[in-house]
Amino acid sequence: MRTAGLPPGEPVAVTLAVPPAAPAAPAPLRATSPPTPSVSPVSGQSSATVARSVPEDGSVVTTVSPRLRDGSGPKLIDARLAGQDPRMAAQPNEDLLEETPFGRLPVRAPDGLRPMDQYARPWSGARGNRIAIVIGGLGISQTSTQRAIRTLPGSVTLAFAASGNSLQRWMQEARTGGHEILLQVPMEPFDYPANDPGPLTLVTGKPAAQNLKALHQAMARITNYTGIVNFLGGRYLADAGALEPVLKDIAARGLLFLDDGAFAQSKTETLARTLDLPHGFADLTLDGELRRDAILRKLDDLQRIAERRGNAIGIGSAFDETVDAVAEWMKQAEGRGIEVVGVSALVSAPQQQQ
């Protein structure tokens, strides 16, 4: 039984392409086919549309149409303002914490410094194409967590599950290795409670006070994270009334919110703008098909999005196949003109610290 990634029953929002040269597949486009190329979308409800067409000559053409966002897109944070002294990266800044009945929670410092700024991974600030890769599910399996932290380059953002074990210890190892980190908060999926992400799940039918209590209990399990990313949450993210108090609290604490991009009905982007919440939206799920070659293709698709738009965000889980494929792909990323950055570098930043 796999311990990282989506549990059974949650709708999957990414449709993956089957390589046209697979032996068992019928040959595409023969003489009886119409002269126009066949096009098949391969991204489902991911926020970018990736299509592969097969003209009559048998070649494969990939077309990437990045998801159109309202406004002018991400306002990249100033690289000079990001980050923490590497020697102190595993230690929390006490000015960014408050004592509560649930434990220590992130807050803005008296001088306005945000946890998002303090714990962001610095990047070059240079012109070029930028990609953020987020690997989630850390803390569930001790073996998988250790392997992901020690295998993946420090420029990969790691997301820790609120229901995980030994989170503070793993956080310290990840931060020492240069990783930016997020906290995965469980949210109500469409098939809840048959598919129950755990006792800290935010649920649409509960009062806002109960959901905020669950959020704060989750937040207190770890420190040194730049923001929150949803774990599941198809139904919860689509309910603006339930979602707004949670996003408002996240914004007030100086954190970012990353939507994993799996649900087309999500209200996070609209609410984030009204709340001045730094937010991001994943463009592709990398490991909907858990095979090395499929994951590498998704990473190549992510690169094409970045080449067209200047930046892209991909998300996956800490499966061995995902970790190995990402580590392999990143060995050649710089040579392709790609800078892999922490996810905080690619979110909108309406209240960027000056």
Give per-residue pLDDT as tens, 299-348. 999 999 999 999 999 999 999 999 999 999 999 988 899 999 999 999 98
Listing DSSP states for 44-107 in one string gives: TTSSSEEEEEE-TT---EEEEEPPP-STT---PPPGGG----GGGTTS--GGGEEEETTEEEE-
Instruction: Write phi, then psi, for 336 (nearest 5 degrees).
Output: -90, 5
Ranges of each domain in the chain = 79-346
Are 43 and 15 spatial neighbours (Cβ–Cβ below 8 Å)?
Answer: yes
pLDDT higher than 50, residue 166: yes
- Is the Cα torsion angle 147, 172, 168, 184 positive or negative in sign? negative
Closest CA to 268 of 289, 292, 246: 246
pLDDT higher than 50, residue 35: no
CATH superfamily for domain 79-346: Glycoside hydrolase/deacetylase (3.20.20.370)
Whole-angstrom distance between the N-terminal and C-terminal Cα of the chain? 47
Prediction pTM value: 0.78
Give per-residue pLDDT as tens, 255-310. 999 999 999 999 999 999 999 999 999 999 999 999 999 999 999 999 999 999 99
Burial of 41 (0-12, 13-18, 19+ CB in 10 A): middle
Tokens of 126: 């240079």
317: three-class secondary structure by DSSP: strand
- C-alpha distance from residue 177 to each of 77, 151, 161, 194 (Å): 22, 10, 19, 38
Burial of 196 (0-12, 13-18, 19+ CB in 10 A): middle
Give per-residue pLDDT as tens, 42-95. 333 445 555 555 555 544 444 555 554 444 444 444 444 456 677 778 899 999
Which residues partner with 260 through β-bridges? Answer: none
